Amino acid sequence: MSSMSEQRGISIQSIVKRFGDFTAVDGISLEIKEGEIFGILGPNGAGKTTTINMILSLLKPTSGRILINGLDTAKHEMEAKKMLGLMTQETVVEGDLTARENLMVFGRLYHLTAEQLEKRIKESLIEAGLTDFADKKAGTFSGGMQRRLELVKAMIQEPKIMILDEPTTGLDVQNRVSMWGHIKDINKEGITIILTTQYLEEADALCDRIAVIDHGKIKAIGTPSELKKMVVTGRVLEIVVEDIKEANEIVALLKSQFGMAASAKAEKITTVVEQGKNIVLTKILGAIDRKGIKISSVNLHLPTLDDVFIKLTGEGLRDTASGNSMSGRDKMMMRMGR
Ligand SMILES: Nc1ncnc2c1ncn2[C@@H]1O[C@H](COP(=O)(O)OP(=O)(O)O)[C@@H](O)[C@H]1O
Ligand SMILES: [Mg+2]
């Protein structure tokens, strides 16, 4: 065929989506490679779902275009759709139907032959670890089991690209980690994964590359480690003391003796120890000790993706599922122009 067939992956070219006067997606361009796990990370309302709905041809871009393996989705909607699987928070299993029936009903939508469908259902039940529960009503399943069934259901037609819109929002930690395992397994089978998330640690744990988006715009793209390097060259130092007054004293001390910008949130002080500034941890701790302040804990760590996010979006995660507001450290990062 033409050179088209060589353009593997997904090419998102300057897509814009306006709803009336409001611009939800404001000129996003991305090249997602075949076989990777690509994360779209951003707070509520950033434009994640709108972006993936355009990839799926569920929404028409106001402008821009999307190519999947070289095919323009606007011109080849059906072919493009066949390559894509989608799991959203709204992808729910039917509680009154058994696991097997859920897969059967959904599989019929894709016009699989009876033989193909039977084979796919068997494989799907194995993948979801639900073979022993195949003929039990999905409504009786735990949240984690239902989510796994939703995932294999969304993949019944064997998509080459799987799109997961906030696959773990609302799940508890155990089920979240288990879902991460399933996503990695799917990717190992050669399926390209695009996932959206508000969880920094999720993007960090799963993704080969991440685009941080906010207000419909890309703030940065890179591997998790590239993004971390982009932001802070030093280490984040956290000191916890016993009372708030002492914490404020330490903030003042760091400023006066070491010229360091720090902030306190309750009993926790956070600052950044820049590389090559010759500020030695033992000196800081010595100075605190001489003030007669007792330290409960000290933690020196590499910047996390959380730090990256704050730097790039200029604010904390807004209105997230976890209800995070800006932490003291995050505010400090901003004041330091990070
Ligand atoms: N159909 C719509 N009409 C008007 N505004 C919309 C519509 N869909 C989404 N939006 C707005 O676009 C912005 C981005 O939404 P969305 O893509 O759902 O964000 P995310 O998935 O990142 O939370 C939000 O401000 C949302 O209110
Ligand atoms: Mg969304």
Q: Is the pTM of this model over 0.85?
A: no
Ligand 1 atom closest to the Cα of residue 50 is 17
Token pair in block for residue 172: 């508890």
| Ligand 1 pocket residue status of 45, Cβ below 6 Å | yes
Pocket test for ligand 1, best of 15, 17, 50 (most atoms within 8 A of CB): 50
What does the alpha-carbon distance between residue 86 and residue 150 come to, in Å, rounded to a whole number?
10
Runs of H (alpha helix) within the chain: 48-55, 77-83, 99-108, 114-127, 143-154, 173-188, 200-206, 224-231, 244-258, 281-290, 305-313, 328-335
What does the alpha-carbon distance between residue 233 and residue 167 come to, in Å, rounded to a whole number?
32
Q: Whose CA is nearest to atom 8 of ligand 1?
A: 50
Contact status, residue 216 vs residue 54, Cβ threshold 8 Å: no
Burial track 176-192 (b if 16+ CB lie within 10 A, e otherwise): bebbbebbeebbeeebb
pLDDT given at position 278: 63
List of residues 6+ apart from 309 with CB closer than 8 A: 41, 200, 212, 317
Q: Whose CA is nearest to atom 16 of ligand 1?
A: 47
pLDDT given at position 335: 30
| Ligand 1 pocket residue status of 24, Cβ below 6 Å | yes
List of residues 6+ apart from 264 with CB closer than 8 A: 244, 247, 248, 250, 251, 270, 328
What does the alpha-carbon distance between residue 194 and residue 88 come to, in Å, rounded to a whole number?
12
Token pair in block for residue 236: 């984040």
| Ligand 1 pocket residue status of 50, Cβ below 6 Å | yes
Q: Whose CA is nearest to atom 1 of ligand 1?
A: 19
Ligand 1 atom closest to the Cα of residue 59 is 1
Q: Whose CA is nearest to atom 25 of ligand 1?
A: 45
Token pair in block for residue 252: 């003042």
- How far is the centre of ligand 2, averaged over its atoms, from the C-alpha of 274 (Å)? 36
Burial track 152-169 (b if 16+ CB lie within 10 A, e otherwise): bbbbbbbbbbbbbbbbbb
- Ligand index nearest the alpha carbon of residue 19: 1
| Ligand 1 pocket residue status of 44, Cβ below 6 Å | yes
| Ligand 1 pocket residue status of 49, Cβ below 6 Å | yes
What does the alpha-carbon distance between residue 229 and residue 37 come to, in Å, rounded to a whole number?
20
Q: Which residues pair with 65 in a beta bridge?
A: 13
| Domains, the chain, with CATH or none | 3-223 (3.40.50.300), 230-335 (3.30.70.790)
| Ligand 1 pocket residue status of 91, Cβ below 6 Å | no
Class of residue 19 by CB neighbours under 10 A (exposed 0-12, middle 13-18, buried 19+): exposed
- How far is the centre of ligand 1, averaged over its atoms, from the C-alpha of 195 (Å)? 17
List of residues 6+ apart from 56 with CB closer than 8 A: 81, 84, 86, 163
| Ligand 1 pocket residue status of 9, Cβ below 6 Å | no
| Ligand 1 pocket residue status of 48, Cβ below 6 Å | yes
Q: Which residue has the tokens 């120890």?
A: 273
Residues of the chain under the 50 pLDDT cut: 1-5, 316-338
Q: What 3-state DSSP class applies to 229?
A: helix
pLDDT given at position 20: 97
pLDDT given at position 226: 87
Task: Using alpha carbons, select from 226, 237, 214 the residue that is nearest to residue 288.
Answer: 237
